Structure 1
Amino acid sequence: MTIKSRKAKMGLSDILLNENNRESFVDDCVKLIDKQVAAAPGLGGLALKAAYSTVKGIRADYCAQVVDQLLPEISSALDPIWTEAVNHGNPVEYLAQRKPIVADELLQISDKKAEKSTRAVVKGAYAKLRPSAKTYVEKGVPDLAEIINKYNNAG
């Protein structure tokens, strides 16, 4: 079996939950979130920045902790799309073309997490941002695809 065929058979969970990749992947995702929030324009961007600042105020590593906790669910939810993307030859482009689908999958996970949260601050911040969240998540999908592909190629 060649390296390329082994990669095609590896699921997203094999790549992202691998102990050699996980911490770096989470760090890359947090950097992406920071970048997306910083670039958010207008009044909606101000609201997003304020809410993000509130959430980060809970704990400095709160976002990394949440990404890490959600990584198994994220990996499972995106695995079928990622497998299709790899089979089509250009996974980054494939996911970028399917931004709404990827965003919906990710938001379903965060919706469940927010719903289960016992922190009123988190629930409140999420409730304020949720109506515009899909737009922000969709904007980040191409960069997320690049990050995933980086770890896919490293494996």
Structure 2
Amino acid sequence: MSTAVSDALLDETRRTEAVSALTQVIDAEVADKSGLGGAAVKAGYAAAKKLGGDFVPSATDRLLPQFAAALDPLWATKGDTPFAAHLESRSEQAADALLAVTDAKADATSHTAAKKVYGALRGKAKEQVVAALPRLGATVERLVQG
């Protein structure tokens, strides 16, 4: 049986690497955005980064247990399929599972600036998450198989 995403990413010997790699995924996805929608994403991301120099890695670390748990059922059903391809084939399910994590965090936060930035970007978030699934899946698979 393969290692669960949560077991691998939350292991104390790998967590720092996981947070760094996932932050790089976020940075790369934002950098790849173009057009008017891309400009909005980039502006929102820049605003989030202004909340604190380590806001994105810190938020990634805080949310890692929930994100990993959201990916566990998808990992468990991937079989021999590369995780990136598996996530793409179940893009609606994967995006909904990941967005449920951020939605819950946004609802619970008392950080009004972060809530405002998230609210401004949430309308197009599913489309952005679906676009990020191949890069996310490849990164997660590399981290799990470590």
TM > 0.5 between the two?
A: yes
**TM-score after normalising by structure 2:** 0.94
- Is the CA contact (8 Å cut-off) linking 2:82 and 2:138 kept in structure 1? no
Deviation sequence 1:121-142 (CA, Å, 0-9, x none) = 1111111110001111111111
Structure 1 runs of 4+ off > 4 angstroms?
none
**TM-score after normalising by structure 1:** 0.88
Q: Distance in 1 between matches of 2:36 and 2:74?
A: 33
Gaps of at least 5 residues in structure 2 are: none
Q: Distance in 1 between matches of 2:82 and 2:103?
A: 29
Aligned to 2:84: 92
Aligned to 1:101: 93
Structure 2 residue 68 is the aligned partner of structure 1 residue 68: no
Q: Distance in 2 between matches of 1:13 and 1:21?
A: 11
- Is the CA contact (8 Å cut-off) linking 1:30 and 1:64 kept in structure 2? yes
SS of the residue aligned with 1:118?
Answer: coil
Gaps of at least 5 residues in structure 1 are: none
Q: Aligned-pair distance for 1:88?
A: 4.1
Aligned to 2:133: 141
Larger Cα-atom Rg: 1
Aligned to 2:111: 119
Aligned to 2:20: 27
Q: Distance in 1 between matches of 2:130 and 2:18?
A: 19
User: Identical aligned pairs, as a percentage?
Assistant: 33
Aligned residues: 146
